[in-house]
């Protein structure tokens, strides 16, 4: 049912040690502060990811912030608390996470717009129960370098102790990410349906008039 235009590499799974960020309600202003939204590009936001937590007032890296630990470099899975990505609709948030190298965020809940934006860029929002999330944080605390596997094909999160947590990702978005296709390609195949809708649904306003 989808156009076969490949817009990105097909993605099946990622295995990586995790970046633990045990906070609820991490908002998109923290992920990427508004003053960095003046860019007209998608690329190049990795350095600004979590800027205000990551850098001190004098611009030097904050040694307390998790992302600044040397061993975090190259990790591809972020683990955070509930309601990750709340607030602003800025798609710069998933762009910044991905530019830094994150491919999946595990949390016990995601804000709707962030979840949508993430999936459209191939960043996986993996929702698990609060109990499963607590267990993951405990396992990471016991062995900070232990790896997890996020398997989108199987919809399984494999934890360091060998246990497996199932998750679901929106079935349509999942297919797109596995195939490396995108939703616009699909929408563009619907020309006949769209023309029929437009014929039966006269415009409410014209922004060109008046």
Q: Which of 13, 69, 87, 179 binds other proteins (CB under 8 A)?
A: 87
Closest approach of other proteins to the CB of residue 137, in Å: 9
141 binds other proteins (CB under 8 A): no
39 binds other proteins (CB under 8 A): yes
56 binds other proteins (CB under 8 A): no
Q: Which of 77, 90, 104, 136 binds other proteins (CB under 8 A)?
A: 90
Q: Which of 4, 9, 35, 199 binds other proteins (CB under 8 A)?
A: 35
DSSP states of the chain: -------S----EEEEEEEEE--SS-BHHHHS-GGGTT-S-SS--GGGTTHHHHB-TTSSB-TTSGGGSGGGTT--EEEE-SSBTBS---THHHHHHHHHT--EEEES-B-HHHHHHHHHTT-EEEE--HHHHHHHHHHHHH-TT-EEEEETTTTEEE-TTS-EEE----HHHHHHHHHT--HHHHHGGGHHHHHHHHHHS--S--TT--
Q: Which of 4, 57, 74, 168 binds other proteins (CB under 8 A)?
A: 57
Stretch near other proteins under the rule CB under 8 A, chosen from 9-17, 138-146, 157-165, 189-197: 189-197
Q: Which of 46, 54, 69, 120 binds other proteins (CB under 8 A)?
A: 120
In this complex, which beta carbon is closest to other proteins, that of residue 74 or of residue 199? 199
Compute the C-alpha angle 106/110/113, nearest 5°. 130
Closest alpha carbon to 158 in 10, 11, 18, 9: 18
Residue 148 to residues 92, 157, 179, 205, Cα–Cα distance (Å)? 26, 7, 23, 52
In this complex, which beta carbon is closest to other proteins, that of residue 162 or of residue 202? 202
Q: Which of 74, 86, 126, 169 binds other proteins (CB under 8 A)?
A: 86
4 binds other proteins (CB under 8 A): no
Closest approach of other proteins to the CB of residue 162, in Å: 25
Residues lying near other proteins in the complex (CB under 8 A) are found at: 1, 22-25, 27, 29-30, 33-35, 37-42, 52, 57, 81-83, 86-91, 109, 111-113, 116-117, 120-121, 170-172, 175, 183-184, 186-188, 190, 193-194, 197-198, 201, 203-210
């Amino acid at each position: 049912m989808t156009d076969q235009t490949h817009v990105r590499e097909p993605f099946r799974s990622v295995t990586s040690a995790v970046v633990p960020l045990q906070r609820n309600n991490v908002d998109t202003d923290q992920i990427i502060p508004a003053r960095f939204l003046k860019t007209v590009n998608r690329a190049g936001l990795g350095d600004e990811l979590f800027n205000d937590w990551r850098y001190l007032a004098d611009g030097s890296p904050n040694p307390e912030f998790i992302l600044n630990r040397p061993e975090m470099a190259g990790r591809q899975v972020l683990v955070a608390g509930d309601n990750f990505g709340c607030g602003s609709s800025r798609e710069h948030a998933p762009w910044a996470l991905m530019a830094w190298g994150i491919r999946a965020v595990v949390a016990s809940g995601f804000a709707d717009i962030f979840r949508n934006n993430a999936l459209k860029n191939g960043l996986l929002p993996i929702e698990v129960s609060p109990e499963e999330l607590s267990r993951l944080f405990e396992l990471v605390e016991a062995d900070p370098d232990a790896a997890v596997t996020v398997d989108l094909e199987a919809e399984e999160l494999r934890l360091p102790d060998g246990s497996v947590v199932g998750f679901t990702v929106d079935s349509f978005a999942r297919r797109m990410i596995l195939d490396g296709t995108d939703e616009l390609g699909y929408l563009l195949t619907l020309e006949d349906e769209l023309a029929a809708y437009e014929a039966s649904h006269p415009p409410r306003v014209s922004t060109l008039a008046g």
